[in-house]
Structure 1
Amino acid sequence: MLYIPRNIPISEVLKKKSVLLLGPRRAGKSALIRHQLKADRVIDLLKADQFQAYSFRPSLLRESLKTSERLVVIDEVQKLPVLLDEVHSMIEETNCRFVLTGSSARRLKRGHTALLAGRTRRLYLHPFCFAEVADSFKLERYLRHGGLPPVYLAETEADAMAELSDYAGDYLREEILAEALVRKIEAFSRFLPVAARMNGQLLNFESVASDSQVPARTIREYFSVLEDTLVGKILHPVRFKGIHSRKAIASGKFYFFDCGVLNALLGRKKILNDSVEFGDLFETWVHQELRTYSDYRKERDAIEVQFWRSPAGSEVDFVINREVGIEVKATRHISERHVSGLNELAAMMPLRKKVIVCRESAPREMNGVNVLPWREFAEQLWADEIF
């Protein structure tokens, strides 16, 4: 399969520290290791013989280390968290760097990652972002299939759809059931499509509980499982103090990590242009780009992504570092009514820049708001020109 280089700054970080590389299943962690890292040894815990050897004797990792080895990779380390104790001592006592990969932060939290605090840098690998596939990027296709490498690089539409249809089942079987992350897999299976319908909306745990026939207290835990297994992220709202404290809602919004997986969970096979679903996916894609940019650039700058919504319903989709407001509209014709949320927020906090991402044909400025076609927005984002 064709390999497309990834923008994650793992090589730069490894010059300073070992790395805990996290990412959802099929995001391309193993391919990145093969193509972009020159590891002296790769331990793949998905292979039965290697898992058996190190689970029987974790000290084998330390005992078998050669003095010439400078970079060791442990793939799917959440399968055997006890190895983190050995890694901790080896980081302290040797000159070896480690790359520890995983798709479940939850299992690692149960392990001993606190021991690695300050000794490793946590990096997140996302599906393909615009900057990695700009030459071949087609918006409609991406909103339908997403950016997981096996899906994006599939030769036919049927192959892409087959990969996506398998994802939900594999996630439930290999991530949730095999790792014993929830007590009742049937209840979690009912929850997943309901959570998918809530994508990009204000979280209402009681409503999700009712629709999935699961207690509300369990729903909160299930959303935590989704975050820990890296298939989604809660976007938190901007909060105010003082006179503006009542002018923002406190509930978060949840976004799935990939448009294609989201469509698969909802059983969508076609996305009509200009439909409500198209607009929701367009917003989800912008969120993915912002999250990916934030994670890949955080070695240089701290980037906080939030949103704002008033009790009356005025909203700005994304607020960056409390100084850049970004509104997402899938329309081809931006008018004054589309900037009302940005202007209302700007009256409460000084926004250095106001942006609308849309499908107009050319960039323009409208009363202090930068109206950007989606491609120009993505190009400017990855050229570090938005923030």
Structure 2
Amino acid sequence: MIHRNIFPSLLEHLSKPQATVITGMRRVGKSTALKYLLTQVPHNNKVYLDLERVENRYLLNQTNTKDIEIGLAIEGIDLSKPAVIALDEIQLVNQSTSVIKFLYDTYGTKFIVTGSSSFYLKNHFSESLAGRKRIFEMYPLDFAEFVAFQGESPTLLKQFAEASFHLSIYLKWKALYENFLSFGGFPEVVLAETEEDKKAYLRDVINAYIELDIRLLSDFSASDDLYRLVRLLAVRTGSRLDFSKLGAVLGINRAKVKEYISLLEHTYFIKSVGAFTQSLDKEFSKQEKIYLADTGLLQALAQVSSGQVFENAIALQLSHLGSIQYYQKKTGLEIDFILEGKKAIEVKETPTPHDEQILKNRAKSLGLDTYYLVGRHQSPNDFKDFVWGGSLISQ
């Protein structure tokens, strides 16, 4: 078992009475996390129910709670004692929250559940299970986790997290980082042995997302428009959104485009980055930038530049470190990312001293004392005052 960054938080919550809810895109490792947690339960009064199986959906869909209790007893659960029930893919059973609420309130049953839809879980669960659950969001692997999945220890890498460029660290991890940029961080993709297998898994992720998650939350006809939209967004990754232009290309109205993009974000397929400004009113008036949830997905959907792939990766890596925004003036002057409203960050594939000076001046104009370049490649003039992308991880 390769431990994920989220595991300590999940383990800590396992002893709490409230339901432990794990949500995120398909194939990010939610089921693996759920099964791992179940092995950590210190008694045998527990059960795993995969709700993709019809008999398990039937068990929870029964209208009579006594029948549900009998079904659980057949599965070996004694509700008169502390019990743990693990439900995988909970969004597939409409009345699942009612069942959880009943068993939690009546017997104090502990639930561990997974679901692929943030939109469904956050909205429906918030209304139905107020005070009875905590939601944990799971994402594709970050680079440190990716290294662990490759059978190597990320300990040394973490010691140099966010540190200035160090040649030996760069040379040791460069090949793995380039692989990470190429195929992303879905565990099945990372563990696949061939490039063709990796590409096939990525196509499966896209298909499952469109055909299963989106059709669960939207009407049947939306899937074709959404597929065309995600391909357009992939081409435009790192660019500011223009709903009207996207609508014109797709042949749908601006409001519908906005609705679809909200759905894509709330189901983890894309990440939006808002504009940084010292005026709240101006912030709301500026367009957002969009990045895809995984660089492997990005390249499976469209032919994009290496610079776009790298910027997308850095946006995702920074999002693990805190909230991010971008800065851009009407004159074109910009800073790629502002981290936590305090750090100015510029992304360059091959950074130079000139890039650093420009960033310094722009950060100073915003009153930001902390700034750094993030680079992908070694600088040809031995410039080292930048952070290599592979070391942009949490310690």
Q: TM-score by structure 2 length?
A: 0.80
Match of 1:373 among 388, 391, 395: 388
Is 2:13 the counterpart of 1:13? yes
Question: More helix per residue: 1 or 2?
Answer: 2
Q: Which residue of 2 aligns with 1:215?
A: 253
Query: Structure 1: any 5+ residue segments left out of the alignment?
Result: 269-275, 295-302
Report the alpha carbon displacement of residue 370 of structure 1 after superposing the two structures with TM.
Answer: 5.2
Partners of 1:247 and 1:306 in 2: CA distance: 10
The 1:246/1:217 distance shift into structure 2, 3 A limit, reads closer
Q: Which residue of 2 aligns with 1:345?
A: 363
Partners of 1:213 and 1:205 in 2: CA distance: 12
Partners of 2:184 and 2:226 in 1: CA distance: 23
Higher mean alpha-carbon deviation, 51-60 vs 155-164, is at 51-60
Contact 1:247 1:311 in 2 (8 A): no
Partners of 1:248 and 1:113 in 2: CA distance: 26
Structure 1, residues 88-122: CA drift from partner, whole Å, max 9, x if none? 34334444332221111223356343232343222
Report the alpha carbon displacement of residue 225 of structure 1 after superposing the two structures with TM.
Answer: 1.4
The one-letter code of the counterpart of 1:290 is: L
The 1:306/1:98 distance shift into structure 2, 3 A limit, reads farther
The 1:61/1:146 distance shift into structure 2, 3 A limit, reads farther
The 1:99/1:237 distance shift into structure 2, 3 A limit, reads farther
Contact 2:344 2:368 in 1 (8 A): no
Report the alpha carbon displacement of residue 360 of structure 1 after superposing the two structures with TM.
Answer: 4.7
Contact 1:365 1:371 in 2 (8 A): no
Partners of 2:98 and 2:141 in 1: CA distance: 33
Q: Secondary structure at the match of 1:186?
A: helix
Matches within 5 A, 1:237-256: 237-241=275-279, 250-256=286-292
Report the alpha carbon displacement of residue 316 of structure 1 after superposing the two structures with TM.
Answer: 2.1
Partners of 1:224 and 1:246 in 2: CA distance: 21
Is 2:380 the counterpart of 1:359? no
The one-letter code of the counterpart of 1:83 is: S
Q: Which residue of 1 aligns with 2:298?
A: 262
The one-letter code of the counterpart of 2:28 is: A
Is 2:310 the counterpart of 1:282? yes
Match of 1:322 among 335, 341, 345: 341
Contact 2:275 2:283 in 1 (8 A): no
Partners of 2:90 and 2:204 in 1: CA distance: 23
Match of 2:273 among 227, 231, 235: 235
Report the alpha carbon displacement of residue 124 of structure 1 after superposing the two structures with TM.
Answer: 1.0
Q: Secondary structure at the match of 1:382?
A: coil
Higher mean alpha-carbon deviation, 48-57 vs 89-98, is at 89-98
The 1:167/1:349 distance shift into structure 2, 3 A limit, reads same
Report the alpha carbon displacement of residue 41 of structure 1 after superposing the two structures with TM.
Answer: 1.6
Q: Secondary structure at the match of 2:297?
A: helix
Q: Which residue of 1 aligns with 2:169?
A: none
Contact 1:248 1:310 in 2 (8 A): no
The 1:236/1:13 distance shift into structure 2, 3 A limit, reads farther
Q: Which residue of 1 aligns with 2:170?
A: none
Report the alpha carbon displacement of residue 27 of structure 1 after superposing the two structures with TM.
Answer: 0.7
Report the alpha carbon displacement of residue 241 of structure 1 after superposing the two structures with TM.
Answer: 2.6
Is 2:22 the counterpart of 1:4? no
Q: Which residue of 2 aligns with 1:148?
A: 186
The one-letter code of the counterpart of 1:11 is: L
Tell me the C-alpha RMSD between the 2 structures: 2.9
Amino-acid identity (%):
25
Report the alpha carbon displacement of residue 11 of structure 1 after superposing the two structures with TM.
Answer: 0.9
Higher mean alpha-carbon deviation, 124-133 vs 28-37, is at 28-37
Is 2:126 the counterpart of 1:113? yes
Matches within 5 A, 1:85-164: 85-108=98-121, 111-134=124-147, 136=150, 138-164=176-202
Structure 1, residues 66-85: CA drift from partner, whole Å, max 9, x if none? 24444322111111242212
The 1:87/1:344 distance shift into structure 2, 3 A limit, reads same
The one-letter code of the counterpart of 2:59 is: A
Partners of 2:69 and 2:97 in 1: CA distance: 11
Which has the larger Rg? 2
Contact 1:19 1:100 in 2 (8 A): yes
Contact 1:84 1:112 in 2 (8 A): yes
Match of 1:382 among 368, 372, 394: 394
The 1:342/1:81 distance shift into structure 2, 3 A limit, reads farther
**What is the total number of aligned residue pairs between the two structures?**
354
Report the alpha carbon displacement of residue 36 of structure 1 after superposing the two structures with TM.
Answer: 4.3
Partners of 1:341 and 1:35 in 2: CA distance: 45
Report the alpha carbon displacement of residue 305 of structure 1 after superposing the two structures with TM.
Answer: 2.2
The 1:181/1:261 distance shift into structure 2, 3 A limit, reads farther
The one-letter code of the counterpart of 1:47 is: R
Q: Secondary structure at the match of 1:160?
A: helix
Structure 1, residues 176-196: CA drift from partner, whole Å, max 9, x if none? 235445643332232221122
Higher mean alpha-carbon deviation, 64-73 vs 149-158, is at 64-73
